[in-house]
Structure 1
Amino acid sequence: MEPRFVRANGLAFAYVEQGPSDGPLALCLHGFPDTPATWRHLMPTLAEVGFRAVAPWLRGYPPTELPRERRIAPDTLAADVNALHRALGGDRDAVLVGHDWGAVAAMRAAAAAPERWRRLVTLAVPPERILLGAVGDRRQVLRSRHAMAALVPGAEHRLMAGDAEGFLRLWRRWSPGYVPGPDDLEPLQQMLRTPGAPRAMLAYYRGFAPAVVSRRALSHRVSLPPQPHLVLHGRQDGCVGVEWAERAEGRLPHPASKVMILDDAGHFLHLERPEEVGRLVREHLGARGRTVPAVRA
């Protein structure tokens, strides 16, 4: 599928879409290190129930225009998402789906502009306010050692060595039961060959690190999204421990929000368990604003 382009928040964003052009916007946000190909199972499911499913390459991920900054703050990602809502003609029925860094962007965007987004689903990253409790937790620090490594000068060169073997190791460690195939790896490797792309991808970690130093200040600034929010997490996630997702249970503002843990799934749970994830997302988001009857996986 050839990408289209739209200008938002000062950049030309590339994106792919499926579904009726007059359907409510379902903006699907990929994570690190990944591409919109990660939504190849979910986008048809959303299109079938009437959504216009749109998956952009996020800031720092070509063919989206590469930014100049060496640090990309999470609030910049949120601003991108809300600008994409405007640029793509979204309305109050728009919904968000985000994985990994896309989940962070989705939660911040939904909290910053609740009038734009009706519901949201996040995968593999629990709400930031809850995840802040992991700062200093020895087990989670070990899982997140890639974030610290990203701050070291030259990190992108080490990850790119051996045909991007460092990036591929992250996939294998985070989803130990999943073997990424050509549909995952070829779009990723093609993107990584663009000069400047690996550095831009790591800019997310370099932009987030200063905020983590002041955990108390960050906890006051980061709001929980007020919309109905489905948090999905794999029990075998090797990047973010399942215990941090479980702690979100009962702490999400909207009474229709819920946390669901998928057994035998890791960080890339939407690729490992596509039918189950598709069913859960579809049931939560509804169809063109209506509740969808339960569908058996």
Structure 2
Amino acid sequence: MGSGTVRANGIEWALTSAGPPDAPLALCLHGFPDTSATWRHLLPQLAAAGFHAVAPAMRGYAPTEVPPDRRTDPDTLTADVNALHRALGGRRDAVLIGHDWGAIAGARAAAAAPDRWRRLVTLAVPPESVVAQARLDVPQARRSWYVVAAQLPGSEALFTARDLALIRRLWHTWSPGYQLQPADLDPLRATFAVPGVARAVLSYFRGFATAAAENRAASRRVTLPPQPHLHLHGRDDGCIGAAIAERAVGVLPHPASRVEVLDGLGHFLHLEDPVTIGARIVEFVTTGRPAVAPR
């Protein structure tokens, strides 16, 4: 795998990649609290399937530039993803894979620019409309305590204290069957050691909370992506319950879309069983691939 940088939507992005640059783009977006190292198993699988697989460190996560304004609202994340498509030479045969916040950003980008993205895969976070309907669900409210904690004054210190103790607790709670690996934890330590990163990362929650309040006032709704969409969810996910993910069945508009809830896996399902999850993703994003890449 290789590394590099690209400038898109006003900031410098750090990238990890695999596969030839002239192959169809497969953009892999990580979530919270994670890094692009989360895709270390999937990138080679996508490259072997004929993709240029690219995993950026998301906005605010070092070594990607920490934006001076620390702006992280839904529209900015959407613009980020579609700007990366342009900067990386993406065509109409590009595909998106997103986990957690990456799933939210990917779904919004695919809906905003359907001509750029042929297929979409989301992991662990179902469509926003489904999650919004669960906001009064008591078990889910208990799981989501960290969302409130992330918006409190001093939350940066709370989440990074004692060698990222709270972040390590989230990993354990969300994926109880997975043992956090040095390949996960070392990049997290390096990322959160960079000044400004913790504040920028936690601004995702603040930015979305503000936007949600504004959208409710304006009666705005998030558009569902029209492309074929695969959502994968772990039955043992301690962040967003599997019962909520199952509510997405029948919601995704394209007839080729599907929702799969997998037994014995949690929130970081692509790390818990990279062979099975990788095979499902590769099968989905290669289905219907044009024999000649469209320009």
* Residues 146-155 or 135-144, more deviating: 135-144
Partner residue in 2 for 1:176: 176
Partner residue in 1 for 2:157: 157
Deviations 1:97-131 (A, max 9, x none): 00000000000000000000000100000000111
Work out whether 1:102 is the aligned partner of 2:102: yes
Partner residue in 1 for 2:264: 264
| Distance across 2 between alignment mates of 1:183 and 1:100 | 19
| Distance across 2 between alignment mates of 1:70 and 1:41 | 30
| Distance across 1 between alignment mates of 2:85 and 2:37 | 20
Partner residue in 1 for 2:245: 245
SS at match of 1:172: helix
SS at match of 1:4: strand
Partner residue in 2 for 1:294: none
Letter in 1 for 2:153: P
The answer to whether the Cα contact below 8 Å between 2:19 and 2:51 also exists between their aligned partners in 1 is: yes
Deviations 1:108-158 (A, max 9, x none): 000000000000100000000111101122111111111100110111101
The answer to whether the Cα contact below 8 Å between 1:93 and 1:288 also exists between their aligned partners in 2 is: no
Taking structure 2 as the reference length, the TM-score comes to 0.95
Shift in CA distance, 69/135, structure 1 to aligned 2, threshold 3 Å: farther
Partner residue in 1 for 2:91: 91
Shift in CA distance, 2/63, structure 1 to aligned 2, threshold 3 Å: farther
RMSD (Å), alpha carbons: 1.6
| Distance across 2 between alignment mates of 1:162 and 1:289 | 47
Shift in CA distance, 151/7, structure 1 to aligned 2, threshold 3 Å: same
* Residues 97-106 or 150-159, more deviating: 150-159
The answer to whether the Cα contact below 8 Å between 2:2 and 2:18 also exists between their aligned partners in 1 is: no
Query: Where do 5+ consecutive residues of structure 2 fail to align?
Result: none
Shift in CA distance, 183/163, structure 1 to aligned 2, threshold 3 Å: same
The answer to whether the Cα contact below 8 Å between 1:5 and 1:12 also exists between their aligned partners in 2 is: yes
| Distance across 1 between alignment mates of 2:70 and 2:91 | 33
Shift in CA distance, 111/252, structure 1 to aligned 2, threshold 3 Å: same
Query: How far apart are 1:20 and its partner, in Å?
Result: 1.6
Work out whether 1:121 is the aligned partner of 2:121: yes
Partner residue in 2 for 1:34: 34
* Residues 202-211 or 100-109, more deviating: 202-211
Work out whether 1:12 is the aligned partner of 2:29: no
Shift in CA distance, 218/257, structure 1 to aligned 2, threshold 3 Å: farther
Query: Where do 5+ consecutive residues of structure 1 fail to align?
Result: 292-297
Letter in 2 for 1:79: A
| Distance across 1 between alignment mates of 2:194 and 2:25 | 29
Query: How far apart are 1:3 and its partner, in Å?
Result: 3.1
Identical columns (%)? 60
Count of equivalent residues: 291
Deviations 1:5-40 (A, max 9, x none): 111001001101101221100000000011111001
Query: How far apart are 1:287 and its partner, in Å?
Result: 7.0
Shift in CA distance, 233/89, structure 1 to aligned 2, threshold 3 Å: same
Letter in 2 for 1:156: E
Query: How far apart are 1:290 and its partner, in Å?
Result: 5.2
| Distance across 2 between alignment mates of 1:93 and 1:247 | 29
SS at match of 2:90: coil
The answer to whether the Cα contact below 8 Å between 1:78 and 1:105 also exists between their aligned partners in 2 is: yes
Deviations 1:225-261 (A, max 9, x none): 0000000000100001111110010111100000001
